[in-house]
Amino acid sequence: MPDPSENAPPTGPVEAARRGARPALRHRFYQRVRIAPGGGSDGGVFLDDKPARTPAGRLLVAPTRAVAAAIAAEWEAQREMIDPATMPNTRLANAIIDGVDDRPGPVAAEIEKYLASDLVCYRAQSPAGLVERQVNHWHPIVAWARDALGANFIVTEGVVHIIQPEAALAAARTAIPEDPWRLGALHAATTLTGSALIALALARGRFSVEEAWRAAHVDEDWNMEQWGRDEMALERRAFRFAEFKAAATVLRSFSGGADA
> Is residue 2 included in any domain, yes or no?
no
> Is residue 6 included in any domain, yes or no?
no
Tell me the per-residue pLDDT of 220-249, one tens digit each, with 9 for 90 and over. Answer: 999 999 998 888 989 999 999 999 999 999
Angle between helices 196-203 and 166-173 (to 10 degrees): 40
Considering the domain architecture, whether residues 251 and 185 belong to the same structural domain is answered as yes
Rounded to whole angstroms, how far apart are CA atoms 239 and 85? 8
The pLDDT score that the predictor gives to residue 260 is: 33
Considering the domain architecture, whether residues 118 and 176 belong to the same structural domain is answered as yes
Q: pLDDT tier at 37 (50, 70, 90 boundaries)? A: confident
Considering the domain architecture, whether residues 137 and 116 belong to the same structural domain is answered as yes
The pLDDT score that the predictor gives to residue 73 is: 98
> Is residue 199 included in any domain, yes or no?
yes
Tell me the per-residue pLDDT of 128-141, one tens digit each, with 9 for 90 and over. Answer: 999 999 999 999 99
Rounded to whole angstroms, how far apart are CA atoms 115 and 95? 22
Nearest 5°: the CA angle 1, 258, 71 is: 40
Considering the domain architecture, whether residues 158 and 218 belong to the same structural domain is answered as yes
The pLDDT score that the predictor gives to residue 229 is: 86
Mean pLDDT of 40-63: 92
CA distances 161 to 117, 119, 155, 158, 194, Å, are: 7, 11, 11, 9, 15
Half-sphere exposure of 5 (CA within 13 A, CB side): 13
Considering the domain architecture, whether residues 132 and 241 belong to the same structural domain is answered as yes
Considering the domain architecture, whether residues 149 and 202 belong to the same structural domain is answered as yes
Instruction: Map residue 184 onto helix, strand or coil.
Output: helix
Last residue of a domain, one of 54, 78, 99: 99
Last residue of a domain, one of 69, 99, 129: 99
The amino acid that residue 11 corresponds to is T
Considering the domain architecture, whether residues 157 and 32 belong to the same structural domain is answered as no
Mean pLDDT of 72-97: 97
Which CATH number belongs to the domain containing residue 37 in this structure?
3.30.2180.10
Considering the domain architecture, whether residues 207 and 122 belong to the same structural domain is answered as yes
In terms of residue numbers, what domain contains 95?
Answer: 13-99
Considering the domain architecture, whether residues 117 and 228 belong to the same structural domain is answered as yes
> How many distinct structural domains can be found in the chain?
2
Considering the domain architecture, whether residues 40 and 140 belong to the same structural domain is answered as no
The pLDDT score that the predictor gives to residue 42 is: 75
Phi, psi values for residue 191, rounded to 5°? -70, -30
> Is residue 18 included in any domain, yes or no?
yes
Which CATH number belongs to the domain containing residue 129 in this structure?
1.10.3580.10
> Is residue 260 included in any domain, yes or no?
no
Rounded to whole angstroms, how far apart are CA atoms 248 and 204? 11
> Is residue 60 included in any domain, yes or no?
yes
Tell me the per-residue pLDDT of 164-181, one tens digit each, with 9 for 90 and over. Answer: 999 999 999 999 999 999
Sequence-distant (≥ 6) Cβ neighbours of residue 45 within 8 angstroms: 33, 34, 35, 38, 51, 52, 60, 61, 62, 68, 71, 72, 75
Considering the domain architecture, whether residues 84 and 142 belong to the same structural domain is answered as no
Considering the domain architecture, whether residues 184 and 221 belong to the same structural domain is answered as yes
* Residue 11 confidence (pLDDT) above 80: no
Mean pLDDT of 78-102: 96
* Residue 8 confidence (pLDDT) above 50: no
Share of the chain above pLDDT 90, in %: 81
Q: pLDDT tier at 2 (50, 70, 90 boundaries)? A: very low
Calculate Rg over the CA atoms of the chain.
Answer: 19
Last residue of a domain, one of 39, 71, 99: 99
